[in-house]
Structure 1
Amino acid sequence: MNKYSICFISFFFLFFFMLINFFMMIYFIMENMIMFFEWEIISFNSMNIVMSILLDWMSLLFMMFVCLISSSVIYYSKSYMSSEINLNRFIILVLLFVFSMILLIISPNMISIFLGWDGLGLVSYCLIIYYQNIKSYNAGMLTALSNRIGDVLILMLISWMMNYGSWNYIYYLDFMSGDFSMMIVSILVILAAMTKSAQIPFSAWLPAAMAAPTPVSSLVHSSTLVTAGVYLLIRFNNLLLDMFFLKVLLLLSGLTMLMSGICANYEFDLKKIIALSTLSQLGLMMSILSMGFSDLAFFHLLTHAMFKALLFMCAGVIIHMMSDNQDIRMMGGISFYIPLTSLCMNISNLALCGIPFLAGFYSKDMILEVVSMSNLNLLIYYLYYFSTGLTMFYTIRLLMYLMVNDFNLLSVYNLYDEDFVMLKSMFMLLFMSLVSGSFLSWMIFYYPYMIYLPFNLKMMVIYVSLMGLLLGFFISNMKIYSLNKFISTYFLSLFLSTMWFLPNLSTYMLNYNFLLFGQNLLKKIDMGWGEIYKSQGIYNILKYYSVINYIYHMNNFKIYLFSFVLWMMIFIMLLML
């Protein structure tokens, strides 16, 4: 079997599944229909463990997008990973990842959600350490341990929901929303979603996960792993309304937007800049979700998935062309050499910025206008709009470095744009990046959002975008900051460029508390007392008795005679007493 055959089989299967989901979703929306399947696996006392499947327009639409992106990514991997010997293993891991996400999407039951949730964490670890070097191992461990916090919270949620007699959370969302015991469920769900969607203080793992191959980054950071937390909160949305904890989430997600936007302007690694923009958009989704607009969060989740997957694919092509170099200071003038990839890159970047009539505009502009119309304080309003300006800022900076500046890598170079396998998969997403915003705005909303604002408030998005564009253009044109200025702001620059020291805090906390505690447990319990009394102790006892048993089985008459006489003497002594 050819190593590329599994690529084609997976691509056609996922693409066919995407088409089925699309037609089912259209039918479900037209008929206003929901299907609920339940299979009882085990029953004990009054508790049932059931495998449930919930098919409604939301799960079908999300599955359609996941299958579309993953089919494009697998087709793209045929060329990108062509030098990989174990390509089949890579494709199977990606398929496992997609399967875990689909399980999470269609589950109305906490047990099956946990299976998909944990599957995402486990397979993402395997994919991040795929290149098997020390950097990948560190990034994989940070990702796995950060996501493990969310897994533990979901386990606590499952044990708490035993109080209700069923793990089907959809039964409790409406009529138990004011109940105190459901407040614990809400807090656990919010915290678990924050770990999976990398909000402050769990943000450090998301840029570190860039150690994975670029097709994986394209899949993970667009529609699967990082959006799992957002999707869970969308499903639990009715339960979360009127909670103090949502205000905390609003503040933290706003700060995540700000932090990632500033940090992206300091970064020179191409993939990390795109990862930080993902973090910024996740902050936007979580913040609008915490204000109660779950449909807008879902809308932005889908449009963002399209152009972000495309952006990562373009980055992968550019990194390949640049002899596997990711530093944007080495790049420049690529639009002359790889025009089709540059076209895809520019359109996906502009969609990210919310340029009118591209995919990102429909969702992002609506979110910001709803924020303007809502009764919010000035800090949150400032965080939203400043972060939008920063998005434009780092996008223009990236385009200046990639497209406009001079090429700085090699004196003799051969850049080409004829990898048609990669280009075909990118054009599929390019089409969706152009039309998905308009298409989804008609599909998702039963009635149009009517937003009445004064002219200046209505134009505020355009104002901050233009300001970000100008600042990005002027600062990118400054060849080097004056040395005195940089030294005078060294500590501030260090703070802003290292994600507010979150990676240091995450790793030191893990090292000096959890991991050292685990090491002590391992030494004292597993390799100490446990070794003496459990494994080695049981082994020694069994060995001792087996030796005695062996001696008896040797059929030695003297031993039998001796033991018989011994037992008789003991028996006679007992009788005399």
Structure 2
Amino acid sequence: MSICLIYYMMFLMLSIISFISSILFMVLDYSLMLEFELLSLNSISIVMTILFDWMSLLFMGFVLFISSMVIYYSKEYMYGDLYINRFIMLVGMFVLSMMLLIISPNLISILLGWDGLGLVSYCLVIYYQNVKSYNAGMITALSNRIGDVALLMAIAWMMSYGSFNYIYYVDYMKNSVEMNIIVSLVILAAMTKSAQIPFSSWLPAAMAAPTPVSSLVHSSTLVTAGVYLLIRFNYALTESMMLFLLFIGTMTMFMAGLGANFEFDLKKIIALSTLSQLGLMMSILALGEYKLALFHLLTHALFKALLFMCAGCMIHNVGGYQDIRYMGGLINQMPLTCTFFFISNLSLCGLPFLAGFYSKDLILEVLSMSYLNIYIYIIFFISTGLTVCYTFRLLYYVIMGDYNYLSLNSISDSGVIMLKGMSGLIFFVIIGGSVLMWTMFPTPYFICLPFIMKVMALLVTMIGIWIGLEFSKFAINYNLKSLSLLKISLFLSSMWNMPYMSTYGVNYYPLYWGNLIYLSMDQGWSEYLGSQNIYQNIKNMSMFLQILYNNNLKIFLLLTVMWVIFMILFL
């Protein structure tokens, strides 16, 4: 039996056990905490803690289920790869790091899972060993290091409590200075991991990884770690922190939605869509609705994993090209894949009664009920409209129209194993939202809104569909020949020039200035006045002494003669 099937069966069984346990824990209102003391230093005990409650078990169930489907899908997607076993083991390590993060109510064990995710993601992003992968891997690893350092600093501040189990303190110590510092550092860590502004540029760059990895990273593992950590810390968030997080979340959501409308790389469009949804999760979390944030996180994981798997299937079939302008009319050659792609895209838009609708519509209605300013209300609905807009633009380019690439091709739904992997998810993309809603919210939300606000989500969706289709037709007909339009398009698709700022700003200019300082100081003045100067002086002195030593007898006799002459003259 291949390593793919062993991992697939193991993860699938564990996910079923985890999901059933979470429902049981939810019904019984039960939590289980296991502690193993590793080390005790004075009054601080370093304890390995594992927390099983409905939230961690439910999330674990989802991560394991999606991972099992992705690994099964990889069996065919990575077929022919010489190092497929290494790839599957890396994915296994990635999932296990996420498990460690999910079940830890302890900052030290969270750091192990957190760093595990960062390091293994680096190995997976540079899996195709070329310059582009290397650059993407470096920006991913270095962006995440900021968050890792923030988490280390939070651990240091936790020492003032004598224990690293934050779960005991988040609610009771929320007004203490230490807890505010710890939570601020955790927010910074979550912003880097969940790619919020200004740390967004690594997320589309991480698309250099193989598609199964993208499917896993963008649905339920790496990028959701930050949101999950903040869900755990939600009790300790102060009002000012929540306002800051709300602003950052809405800006990320808007920026990613706008960028996806001008992007042509299939995987990057879906990556920007993930970024937009992460902004939505952060925003609703900042409004105090942590359960809704978790609900959207889980439903989003289902349809986003399937979206990436469908995209991978399409890229696989068109010979590795990712530009959507080369595609078109794929519904004729790949009907089943395109059907899955269409359903998961509609779920992303929040089409009624698919998984995404239950979380997205509820989030918008809860927002409409709350007392917030007009900026938040408008940007939420504009971002929702942009989501629908780029989704239908993507569908227009990929599914409708004529095929725009090689006339000699063999595109078909031939990948049986890939299709089976996707079929495992499609069922949950359709019914997952309703099932989750019935389990997570035993008492329904009572939402009372005026008619216009109630239908606003539907109205924005309809406008988004119309703009998305019209925009696609305009772009195809006019091909952005106007220079100003092209500049706007490039500015928006590059996420407001953020990749340039986070690579050139962080790498290029400091290195350039460092080189100037090195040339002028280390190899310039300090060399001239320092080591070289001292060396020259010592050399000159030693040469002078050498002359003295070599001619000591002559000098002695000369001095004797001079002394005798001196004596005769003056005495």
Does TM, normalized by the shorter one, top 0.5? yes
- CA offset at residue 405 of structure 1? 1.6
Q: TM-score, normalised by structure 2?
A: 0.89
- CA offset at residue 483 of structure 1? 7.4
**Misfit runs of 4+, over 6 Å:** 516-525
Q: Aligned with 1:43: secondary structure?
A: strand
- CA offset at residue 181 of structure 1? 2.0
Q: Which of 251, 257, 274 lines up with 1:255 in the alignment?
A: 251
Q: TM-score, normalised by structure 1?
A: 0.88
Q: Which of 185, 188, 199 lines up with 1:188 in the alignment?
A: 185
2:87 aligns with 90
Q: State the alpha-carbon separation in 2 of the partners of residues 368 and 28 from structure 1.
A: 29
Which region of structure 1 is more displaced relative to structure 2, 63-72 or 475-484?
475-484
Q: Aligned with 1:499: secondary structure?
A: coil
- CA offset at residue 46 of structure 1? 1.0
Deviations 1:462-506 (A, max 9, x none): 000000001111122235464787323444333212100100000
Mark the runs of 5 or more structure 1 residues left unpaired by the alignment.
Answer: 529-577
- CA offset at residue 510 of structure 1? 2.2
Q: Aligned with 2:38: secondary structure?
A: strand
Whether the 8 Å CA contact 2:480–2:486 is kept in 1: the answer is: no
Q: State the alpha-carbon separation in 2 of the partners of residues 517 and 233 from structure 1.
A: 38
Q: Aligned with 2:129: secondary structure?
A: coil
Q: State the alpha-carbon separation in 2 of the partners of residues 483 and 357 from structure 1.
A: 37
Alignment of 1:159-170 (within 5 A): 159-170=156-167
Q: Aligned with 1:251: secondary structure?
A: helix
- CA offset at residue 235 of structure 1? 0.2
1:417 aligns with 413
Deviations 1:38-68 (A, max 9, x none): 0001111111111000000000000000000
2:327 aligns with 331
2:530 aligns with none
Q: State the alpha-carbon separation in 1 of the partners of residues 509 and 15 from structure 2.
A: 45
Which letter maps to 1:390? Answer: L
Alpha-carbon distance change, 516 to 41 in structure 1, aligned in 2, over 3 angstroms: farther
1:265 aligns with 261
1:283 aligns with 279
Deviations 1:257-316 (A, max 9, x none): 111111101100000000000000000000000111000000000000000000000000
Alpha-carbon distance change, 520 to 41 in structure 1, aligned in 2, over 3 angstroms: farther
Alpha-carbon distance change, 137 to 483 in structure 1, aligned in 2, over 3 angstroms: closer
2:555 aligns with none
Q: State the alpha-carbon separation in 1 of the partners of residues 511 and 15 from structure 2.
A: 43
Deviations 1:237-275 (A, max 9, x none): 0001x3312212111110111111111011000000000
Q: State the alpha-carbon separation in 1 of the partners of residues 436 and 480 from structure 2.
A: 51
Which letter maps to 1:215? Answer: P
1:342 aligns with 338
For the pair 1:502 / 2:498, whether they are aligned, the reply is yes
Q: State the alpha-carbon separation in 1 of the partners of residues 480 and 232 from structure 2.
A: 52
Q: Aligned with 1:36: secondary structure?
A: strand
1:43 aligns with 40
1:103 aligns with 100
Q: Aligned with 1:200: secondary structure?
A: coil
Alpha-carbon distance change, 479 to 238 in structure 1, aligned in 2, over 3 angstroms: closer
Q: Which of 427, 442, 449 lines up with 2:445 in the alignment?
A: 449
Q: State the alpha-carbon separation in 1 of the partners of residues 187 and 499 from structure 2.
A: 22
Q: Aligned with 2:151: secondary structure?
A: helix
Q: Which of 239, 243, 248 lines up with 1:243 in the alignment?
A: 239
For the pair 1:52 / 2:52, whether they are aligned, the reply is no
2:557 aligns with none
Q: State the alpha-carbon separation in 2 of the partners of residues 480 and 15 from structure 1.
A: 44
Q: State the alpha-carbon separation in 2 of the partners of residues 491 and 126 from structure 1.
A: 35
Q: Which of 63, 71, 85 lines up with 2:68 in the alignment?
A: 71
Q: State the alpha-carbon separation in 2 of the partners of residues 301 and 522 from structure 1.
A: 48
Which region of structure 1 is more displaced relative to structure 2, 191-200 or 472-481?
472-481
**Aligned residues: CA RMSD:** 2.0
Alpha-carbon distance change, 412 to 513 in structure 1, aligned in 2, over 3 angstroms: closer
Alpha-carbon distance change, 513 to 173 in structure 1, aligned in 2, over 3 angstroms: farther
Number of matched residues?
523
Q: State the alpha-carbon separation in 2 of the partners of residues 86 and 28 from structure 1.
A: 41
Which letter maps to 2:59? Answer: F
1:473 aligns with 469
Which letter maps to 1:34? Answer: S
Alpha-carbon distance change, 220 to 499 in structure 1, aligned in 2, over 3 angstroms: same
Q: State the alpha-carbon separation in 1 of the partners of residues 256 and 30 from structure 2.
A: 40
1:128 aligns with 125
Q: Which of 74, 77, 81 lines up with 2:78 in the alignment?
A: 81
Q: State the alpha-carbon separation in 2 of the partners of residues 519 and 114 from structure 1.
A: 35
1:429 aligns with 425
Alpha-carbon distance change, 483 to 94 in structure 1, aligned in 2, over 3 angstroms: closer
1:545 aligns with none
Q: State the alpha-carbon separation in 1 of the partners of residues 324 and 349 from structure 2.
A: 20
Which letter maps to 2:119? Answer: L
Alpha-carbon distance change, 484 to 62 in structure 1, aligned in 2, over 3 angstroms: closer
Mark the runs of 5 or more structure 2 residues left unpaired by the alignment.
Answer: 527-571
Q: State the alpha-carbon separation in 1 of the partners of residues 155 and 513 from structure 2.
A: 26
Which region of structure 1 is more displaced relative to structure 2, 272-281 or 481-490?
481-490
1:365 aligns with 361
Which region of structure 1 is more displaced relative to structure 2, 376-385 or 196-205?
376-385
1:305 aligns with 301
For the pair 1:198 / 2:195, whether they are aligned, the reply is yes
**Greater Rg over alpha carbons, structure:** 2
1:391 aligns with 387
Q: State the alpha-carbon separation in 2 of the partners of residues 312 and 484 from structure 1.
A: 28
1:551 aligns with none
Alignment of 1:351-362 (within 5 A): 351-362=347-358
2:536 aligns with none
Percent identity of equivalent pairs = 59
Q: State the alpha-carbon separation in 1 of the partners of residues 265 and 203 from structure 2.
A: 14
For the pair 1:178 / 2:175, whether they are aligned, the reply is yes
- CA offset at residue 378 of structure 1? 0.9
1:213 aligns with 210
